[in-house]
Structure 1
Amino acid sequence: MTERLLRPWRSPAFRIQALALMVATLAIATVVLLRGELEHRFATRTAEAIGGDLVLEGSAPPSDQQKAMVSDLASANTLTFSSVLVRDETFVLASVKAVDQGYPLYGSVAVAGQRFADPRRVDHGPAPGEVWLAGTALDRLEQQVGDTVTIGDLPLRITAVLEQEPDQGAGFYSMNPRVLMNLADVPGTGIIGPGTRARYKLHLRAPGEMMAPLIEQLTPTLAANQELETRDNAGLRSMGPLRQLTLWGQLAVMMVVLLCGGAVYLAAGVRSLEQARRSAVMKTFGASRATVLRWILSRELTALLPAMLAGLALAAAAFLALQQWLGAALAWKPGPGSWLLLALAPLVIWAGFALPRLWRLADLPPRQILQPEPSAPVARTGLNLVGALAAPVLVAMVLSGSLMELLQLLGLMVAVAVGLPLLLWGPLRLADRLGDRWPLAPRLALRRLSRRPLTTLPMLSALVLALAIMSMSSHVGQQLLSQWRATLPEKAPNYFVLNLFEPDLPAFRQWLDRHDAETPQLYPVVRGRLVEVNGQPVREAVTKESDEREQGERALNRDLSLTEGDTLPASNQIASGRWLDPEQPGEVSVESELAASLGLQVGDQLRFTGVSGELSATIVGLREVDWESFQPNFYFMFSPGTLDGEDRYWLTSFYLDEANSGALPDLIRAFPQITLLDVNALLGQAQALIAQASRAALALAALLLASSVLVMAAAWLAGSGQRRKDDALLRVLSGSRALLRRVAMIEQLWLMGGAAVFALVLHFLALWPLGQRMFDGDLPLSPWMLLPWAVVLPWLAVQRILPHRTGPPLARLSG
């Protein structure tokens, strides 16, 4: 048995094939396990953000029937409403959340013993008779932990400063200071009664397999004022980094499959020639087709299994290391079924790319097998192609669980894998014809490549793909990191201020300067509603199709925040038209998605109505807005002077260092009418998300780089045997060592240099689809496009330094 396992390893071609399959197993398993870990982490974070896997929300409590349906699941009840906090003669409007003993289902609550003290994490809410207040509420009431505050008719003791709730990430449930109390204390407040504006939520912890049946069961029982929210449709899943990382992970899996499949295909071709003589001898002595197949395939597959298992073991070790590198306590534990599917992936690759080349040996007569380059029958050539196309499809289905999600990427990659050799054949033949009058060394080097297209084209295609994927993975990874860093700069605004009035601005600016607070910009805000487009009432001017779109519908049914500005905000980009003219009042720039929803175009005339009257403006441009940036953003921005005479307040955001945060109570006392929003908790959550996404993107890029380098080495080694025979033939024909060295160097220059050129072209052609797919636009040019040359030039330099060995000519020719 040991001899059976070790004998194939004496063949360099087998070692190449085993290495490629080990790399495929390692890369695919690590990428898929990493993707599973990230999906688990972000699914858990999304569940934290909404308070559970499934949330039943409404303006009335869940019915008894609904409670009975979910009685077997872990649950938590919350109630949110607005109320006034009372302390002596001081009143503060606050947003109150009342929770029961099951809260929180996911995550923990951050509280502190005193204002500006270090927070600690707890896995429960306040006890009956206690209340936790946000720091801004304490500042307004001028109270401390241990004091008593009245909510409605009920006095409660303040026992902690509320820093962050796990489901706070779902968005601001109010701009007022936050309060957390026990649900059992709500009846004593006397606040909740018939017609009270409140939101009841039933948070549920539901395993993945129970989610769909549970939703199907609950949906018919929903009242008109109730709705269901799941972690799959929560807004956190649409965040840019998460969406981009998911797409990048899917693309990475397919790239790895094609790279390693190409290496296996090349190595299997050499291996089939090595097995040809044994197959011919067996068939000459009367061995049946089944016997030949069993002998070849069983030995080959049995000897390859250790390499596949080694790749799986390395993937498990890499996965554990990646979990530690990503940080946090969350950890996904893949089950036996997941490991089984990952073990099947390299077998599918081997069956698709190598099995047809070995299988054909059983169908060819001994005379044809013993030829230097045996060819498969036409029918079997078609089988080779089908196998090479089917393998990525099957692996995509095994690894993703949904072929539809990968259909576009799969079509692109298969088209490249099949079409690339055909595209390279034309330039190769053209170079061969143009080289007839070249000196001997470059002519011999070129003809070594052009006269063996069945060997050269697959090897050249593998090198082109490897170099292109190497540069594309580096380019895309760097672009993702740059984009995410730009979304949340180091000093992103961590406080928002609303309801500043004109007389307050000088004193407010002085306070910011005194405490080294950085303010991007102050925006005047006017409340207004869009009423006319091009002289027609907005309901008539907007088409029915557009009117039914959710974003446009919301914009038509509420007052909007209108502002003006002389400079384009950093989180905005011009989509069409131009920016506002600071010297020309009456111009407006509209957010592009809202404009599409309402059917608005550059040149349209808009009329708004507000508290102080009406105002009109002409659309001069459309803007793309990054709503995920921690910056004030607006649907409508007017040129300076357009809002003169309107009743307005001012809005801004600023960054305040933690060391100066103790001055915030003074700010609130100086400007009691302002609304101060502390977004440090949300900012920290977003920064943690981007940090983990950045690390995962680096890990994916590193895996792709490693796969590309190893596949390049496999492709190069696959042709080394034939190159040695060519050198030996030249030696027999009296070729000097200097000639052989020049021919070898020029051949490598043609092969590697040509691969680098075509890799650059392929990378350039992929910029648009990659940009549209992952970045909502074109992917900009980058120095990473030159990475293939950074790899090829050192390779050629090393080959020039290393001694060129040919060995005994007759021994090479007889091998």
Structure 2
Amino acid sequence: MLALSIAWRQCRSLWASGEIRVLLFALILAVTATTSVSFFTDRIQSSMQTQGNVLLGADLVVNADHALPAAYLAEANSRQYQTSQALEFTSMVVNADSSALAEIKAVAAGFPLRGHLTISKQSLTTAKGEPETAGIPARGTVWLEPRLAQTLGLKIGDVVGVGESQFSVAAFLLQEPSRGGDMFSIAPRLMMNSADVAATGLIQFGSRVKYQLLVAANPDSTIRNPSMEDFAKWLTPQLARGERVDDIRSARPEMRNALNKAQQFLGIASMVGVILAMVAMLLASIPYVQKSLDAYALMRCFGATQQLITQILLYQTLLLAAVGSVVGCVLGFVAQFGLAILAGRLFLETLPAPGWMPVVLGLITGFATLFTIVWPQLMRLRAVPALRILRQDLEGNVRSNGLMFLPALLVLAGLVYWHAGEIKLAAIVLAALSGLVLVSGFLAYAGMRIVRSFGRLNTNMQQFGVIKLGLMGLRRRPLLTITQVVGLSMGLMAILLLAFVRNDLLQHWQSALPADAPNRFMINIQADQIAGIHDLLSRHGIAHADIFPMVRARLISVNGHAIQAEDYKDDRAKRLAEREFNLSWAAQMQADNALVAGQWWQAADAGKPLLSLEQGLAETLHLKLGDRLSYDVAGTPLELTITSLRKVEWNSMHVNFFAVTPPNVLDHYAANYITSFHLPQGKDDVLNALIKQFPNVTIINVAAVMTQIQSLISKMSYAIEFVFGFSLLAGLAVLYAALMATREERMRESTLMRVLGAAKKQVVLAMLVEFLCVGVVASLVANVFTNVAAYYLATLVLDIEYQFNGWFTLQAVLVTIALVPFAAWLVARHQFNQPPRVLLQSI
């Protein structure tokens, strides 16, 4: 109890004198930065996942070409999930003498489980101006997409025939969230109540129907739902032929990529908080230990043993860790709560409630950081000799062994991995940090050696003397100088890495899915119709891509061995082995394709049986360069040799193919053509003109899904901007606290300089020169390693193109060089306005 009592009284005394405030302030800021970013990113991740699930209408969808077993629904209900069911099939719908093909969706109560159906009960001319959300169509009524209503000349209240039944048109369907699970829409939608399906007589033996079971976690927080991943794992071994489980990541590759990249960025943002926390604590602990030397030397004079001093230090560290961690967690929660409210008003729907994991992470960060970084520093105090009371130059064996900081490095690595969520991301960041520490430490040491040589020069120039005085300040504190350079380099790298990755990610999204990306596909085009389609689209001002040929073929063997679905374990591989492929030909590789293996053909290769495959398809079917693939093209064999593998940017929404040959290879086979184009809103008359002039052409509408994907990516972009801005402010606050830790020592030096006759201007300039040197070294090293880490993160983790931005890098260097001296001046500016007598009394 004696040790605890002394530790408590000493903490109060140190707080009253201000000697412990910087350390505690740094700890609170560190935990606040970590928890607030963790709280906010956790809620943003949950929100993005939920909004992504809107594209499916659920968290998970079970699809099948036959009625689903009742056991699936029973298991979902036993887990207290929300459930709904739906049917999808195509059929002709009739209005008097007019008829049109429609994609019919029959939905049950509760549909959709995520998002809302948007309808209008006004006329078509005002439908888009009067949207409202609704449940599902009532029995005996249907909802039509405006395009279907225009084709059949229907209005609200008219009757439309579906199979053997007649239904009243109750509303126009403006938006259906669940269409994200099926990218291509060959015909417009008609939605009806599932209870009316039997009366239509359309579902017969052999009918092509897609059965769906939609599942979502219950939003009621009082119900503890088992993990949706656990339900998917339970389902997977139960699935029969023709059944599959889709979530947003498997159903929509575009959203899978976007969500993965966004979550990886948020993980990097959380890592920034951890790194800055460790840096701030390291810098704040050094002056705190220096100030405590006299107090513990006095305790040694009064007979305190090393064991008692160790106990006092232990209790003192626990008290600081508890207070700083708890206060930091509370402030972090308050900060993210305000940010979440602001974010919800700006660009997001209601964010999910925060979980408790960020609190646990904040407490672990606070205690682990303080003990692993500050505790080794405090252990130095045990060896302070009692004679230090008489001789201030004596510190005893207070020099730290570098191995004492090994636990701090291990804790940093563990926290970085925790935030990263994957070992590759954590390894790249840690490797870059390790290299940065070594290089920045070496440069700081080498710089001080140069300064030592520079100090031997004599000069009478006043300005040069001030510079020399500032440089000598680096030499007087070698350990602190190296620590400052390393610490500032780590902090700057953390912030700059976040900025660089953010820029690359946002540019990738903007280029991958621009606002004018194709939202209509045209298939079944005949060769003699190409010129007419070009002319019609041009006359209406529609920009479109090239029209590509395609030949239907089935893969039958690889290197002479017959291919069978049973040869593959992967479900996708089995489906690919059974399906037909679209072969195409091209002289030049498309701009959204990249060669990853082999060589593209030359003009002289026209007519040669060569083949270029998409990389993912080749990996799924275990194909490689040099393999001979045999296809069956309408009963005629065709053998091709793989000479190249391509990476295809499917997110571009342009027409692309798994398999491409040189020109003239497929000339003897029947082919039709396909193209894509962007149809602006309000130009639906172009589609009517196309169908009227080319009735055999099928137009596939992907506009609804494109709108939803673009909306979600836009929201994720805002979230990333917001998290980056907050992380930047938190990082600057922590770095500012780290600079405050050196204030007392510099106050002593400036006081001595003022007493010896130095003017205030000279003192200020000397300090600015010193921190300018620190800022130059730290910024240059941080920018070099940031670019290296950003390159590997972009290419190995985020799988996006790395774009070196020289101008942005130069700006970062210049801003950093100016920011470090300015921040140091902000910390020490009040002492420059005081006379030397006041300063002497203060110390």
CA apart distance, 1:320:
2.2
TM-score by length of 1: 0.86
Query: Partner residue of 2:222?
Result: none
| Per-residue deviation, residues 215-273 of structure 1 (Å, max 9, x unmatched) | 56666765555444456755468632211111111122112211121111211221222
1:488 corresponds to: 513
- How far residue 354 of structure 1 moved from its aligned partner, in angstroms, is 2.8
Partners of 2:145 and 2:174 within 8 A in 1 = yes
- Name the counterpart of 1:574: 595
1:574-593 maps to which residues of 2 (within 5 A)?
Answer: 574-579=595-600, 581=602, 584-586=605-607, 588-593=611-616
2:286 matches 1:261: no
What does 1:476-515 align with in structure 2 at a 5 Å threshold? 476-515=501-540
In structure 2, what is the equivalent of residue 38 of structure 1?
44
Q: Which residue of 1 aligns with 2:673?
A: 650
Alignment partner, residue 462 of structure 1: 487
Classify the secondary structure of the residue corresponding to 2:541.
coil
| Contact 1:48/1:166 (<8 A) preserved | yes
Secondary structure of residue in 1 paired with 2:92: strand
Please tell me whether the aligned partners of residues 352 and 391 of structure 1 are also in contact (alpha carbons under 8 angstroms). no
Name the structure 1 match of 2:496: 471
| Within-5 A mapping of 1:415-564 | 415=431, 417=433, 420-435=436-451, 437-438=453-454, 439=457, 445-446=470-471, 448-450=473-475, 452-531=477-556, 536-537=559-560, 539=562, 553-564=574-585
Quote the residue 1:624 is aligned against: 647
Any stretches of 5+ residues in structure 1 without a counterpart?
A: none
Q: TM-score, normalised by structure 2?
A: 0.84
Contact 1:54 1:205 in 2 (8 A): yes
Q: 1: distance between equivalents of 2:213 and 2:160?
A: 27
Asked whether 1:108 is paired with 2:116, we answer yes
Question: Deviation of residue 333 (structure 1)?
Answer: 1.1
Aligned partner of 2:217 among 206, 216, 220 = 206
Q: CA RMSD in A?
A: 4.1
The partner residue of 2:107 within 99, 106, 111 is 99
1:247-326 matches, within 5 Å, as 247-286=264-303, 288-289=308-309, 292-293=312-313, 296-297=316-317, 300=320, 304=324, 306=327, 309-326=330-347
In 1: Cα distance, 2:566 partner to 2:141 partner: 52
Give the C-alpha shift of residue 492 in structure 1: 1.6
- Deviation, 1:605, is 5.9
- Give, in angstroms, the shift of residue 607 of structure 1: 5.2
Structure 2 Cα separation of the partners of residues 241 and 217 of structure 1: 27
- Aligned partners of 1:570 and 1:234: how far apart in 2? 26
SS in 2 for 1:49: coil
Question: Which position in structure 1 is the counterpart of 2:159?
Answer: 148
Aligned: 1:785 with 2:785: no
Which stretch has the larger CA shift, 520-529 or 700-709?
700-709
The answer (yes or no) to whether the contact 1:131–1:160 under 8 Å persists in 2 is yes
The sequence identity of aligned pairs, in percent, is 25
TM-aligned CA distance change 1:582 to 1:322, over 3 Å: farther
> What secondary structure, in the 3-state scheme, does the structure 2 residue paired with 1:701 have?
helix
For 1:264, the aligned partner's letter is M
Q: Secondary structure at the match of 1:209?
A: coil
Given that 2:282 and 2:373 are in contact with CA atoms closer than 8 Å, whether structure 1 keeps it comes out as: yes
Q: Which residue is equivalent to 1:692?
A: 715
Which stretch of structure 1 is more off in the superposition, 225-234 or 474-483? 225-234
Question: Residues 799 and 364 (structure 1 numbering): CA distance in 2 closer, same or farther, change over 3 Å?
Answer: closer
- Answer with 490-499 or 802-811: which moved more: 802-811
Q: 1:729 to 1:697 in 2, by over 3 A?
A: same
The SS at the match of 2:210 is: strand
Q: CA deviation at 1:687?
A: 0.9
CA separation of 1:583 and 1:444: change in aligned 2, threshold 3 A? same
Matched, 1:636 2:656: no
The 10-residue stretch of structure 1 (159-168 or 723-732) with the greater mean CA deviation from structure 2: 723-732
- 1:302–1:90: structure 2 CA closer, same or farther, 3 Å change rule? closer
Shift of 1:682: 0.7
Mean CA deviation greater in 176-185 or 592-601: 592-601
1:120-161 deviation per Cα after TM superposition (whole angstroms, max 9, x unaligned): 243322222222233444455454444333322222233333
Amino acid at match of 2:813: W
User: Which residue in 2 is equivalent to 1:682?
Assistant: 705
After superposition, the Cα gap between the structure-2 partners of 1:372 and 1:76, relative to the gap in structure 1 and judged at 3 Å, is farther
Contact 2:268 2:498 in 1 (8 A): no
Output the CA distance in 1 between the equivalents of 2:721 and 2:253: 22
Q: Counterpart of 1:53?
A: 59
1:196–1:255 distance in 2 versus 1, CA, 3 Å: same
Please state how far the C-alpha of 1:465 moved relative to its aligned partner. Answer: 1.6
Residue 659 of structure 1 and its aligned partner are, at CA, apart by: 2.5
Matched, 1:197 2:208: yes
**Alignment CA distance shift 1:371-1:634 (3 Å):** farther
Alpha-carbon distance between aligned partners in 2 of 1:626 and 1:734, rounded to the nearest angstrom: 69
Distance 2:837 2:447 in 1: 29
Q: Distance in 1 between matches of 2:447 and 2:575?
A: 63
Give the drift of 1:595: 3.2
Give me the whole-angstrom Cα distance separating, in 2, the residues matched to 1:45 and 1:764.
33
SS at match of 2:274: helix
Cα separation, 2, equivalents of 1:284 and 1:203:
76
Structure 1 residue 716 displacement after superposition: 3.4
Shift of 1:708: 3.7
CA distance in 2, matches of 1:807, 1:538: 93
Aligned partners of 1:298, 1:610: CA distance in 2, in Å? 76
The one-letter code of the counterpart of 2:41 is: R
1:358-373 equivalences under 5 Å are: 358=378, 360-361=380-381, 364-367=384-387
| Structure 1 SS opposite 2:61 | strand
Partner Cα distance (1:680, 1:193) in 2: 32
* 1:634-783 map, 5 Å: 634-726=657-749, 743-776=766-799, 779-783=802-806
Q: 1:175-219 CA distances to partner (integer Å, 9 max, x unpaired)?
A: 333322211111112222344332322223335425466556666
The one of 190, 194, 214 equivalent to 1:179 is 190
Structure-2 separation of matches of 1:723 and 1:477: 37
Moved more, 175-184 or 716-725: 716-725
Q: CA 1:434–1:218 in 2, change beyond 3 Å: closer, same or farther? A: closer
Change (3 A) 1:35 1:296: closer
The answer for unaligned runs of 5 or more in structure 2 is 219-224, 459-464
**Worse-superposed segment, 56-65 or 316-325:** 56-65
